[in-house]
Amino acid sequence: MARFAFISDVHGNLQALQAVLRCIDEKGVDATLCLGDVVGYGPNPAECLDLIAERDIFTVQGNHDLSIIDDVEAHRFNPTARLSLEFTRGQLSESHRELIAAMPRIADLDDVTMCHASPVSDGCSDYIHDQQIAALAYGGFTNHCLFVGHTHIPIAFGTPEIGYAAVDPKNVRVAFLPPNLPLRLDCRYRYIINPGSVGQPRDGNPDASFGILDVSQRTFTVHRVAYPVEQTQAAIIEAGLPNFLAHRLRLGA
């Protein structure tokens, strides 16, 4: 039975993406799926989009991806994100913009729903950080699992409630996902799962994060991969992007 790797929030960090794809190849999966924000912040947006396309990795559209082709989304950005957006737009070709435009905001694959941020509202903005926001997001899907990115934190929520409605936050459990510790998926629960970020982790661990869903074992396991952070940092400085973007990679913040 199938094993699927979930990656998210690559953010133009080619060294991290290459390291994660190598690790996924070693572990062996049936398919790799991407939860959006391939570009933004990082120095190699074009190369990351090319690699995703070359490997035929199905990708839903993140807010940073959307901002490349949508000025309304771009105007929601903070100053650092705006600076990196100008740089990123300058790096991408018409065919990159077509790739981004073709990404769906939300997708159902078997018993799994994928979107970048949340399936309620426009699917591109809410941060599922806590039980309150997770409870609302349960109103946006009926599948067994929803996979999201956006917060850059490996985390899972679970509820026994079913149906197409927001659930009671008191019935939502939460667990941070440490590496190499499988989360057992109870078939009586519905889950919201975030595999963490490939290219800009924000949980205090600078190693690139991704996860593997094992359908027959009914588990989801996060993996962390060290990569040459200093190479990405040098490329950020070289590109003239804000120093802060290089600094945060070392901190995982």
Q: Return residues touching Zn ion (CB under 5 A).
A: 9, 37
**CB closer to Zn ion, 37 vs 73:** 37
Tell me the closest approach of the beta carbon of residue 231 to Zn ion, in angstroms. Answer: 20
The crossing angle, in degrees rounded to 10, of helices 229-238 and 243-251 is 170
In degrees and rounded to multiples of 5, residue 106 shows phi and psi of -145, 145
**CB closer to Zn ion, 9 vs 207:** 9
Exposed/middle/buried for 214, CB within 10 Å: 0-12, 13-18, 19+?
middle
d(CA 18, CA 21): 5
Tell me the closest approach of the beta carbon of residue 152 to Zn ion, in angstroms. Answer: 6
**Cβ of 189: how many Cβ atoms within 10 Å?**
17
**CB closer to Zn ion, 9 vs 177:** 9
Tell me the closest approach of the beta carbon of residue 236 to Zn ion, in angstroms. Answer: 16
| Nearest one of 8, 13, 68, 16 to 245, comparing CA atoms | 13
**CB closer to Zn ion, 12 vs 158:** 12
**CB closer to Zn ion, 173 vs 247:** 247
Tell me the closest approach of the beta carbon of residue 64 to Zn ion, in angstroms. Answer: 6
**CB closer to Zn ion, 9 vs 203:** 9
| Nearest one of 211, 214, 201 to 248, comparing CA atoms | 201
**CB closer to Zn ion, 116 vs 223:** 116
Tell me the closest approach of the beta carbon of residue 158 to Zn ion, in angstroms. Answer: 23
Tell me the closest approach of the beta carbon of residue 110 to Zn ion, in angstroms. Answer: 25
Exposed/middle/buried for 76, CB within 10 Å: 0-12, 13-18, 19+?
middle
Tell me the closest approach of the beta carbon of residue 195 to Zn ion, in angstroms. Answer: 12
d(CA 96, CA 102): 10
| Nearest one of 137, 125, 191, 133 to 164, comparing CA atoms | 137
Task: Quickly list DSSP for 130-169.
Answer: SHHHHHHHGGG--SSEEE--SS--EEEEEES--SSS---G
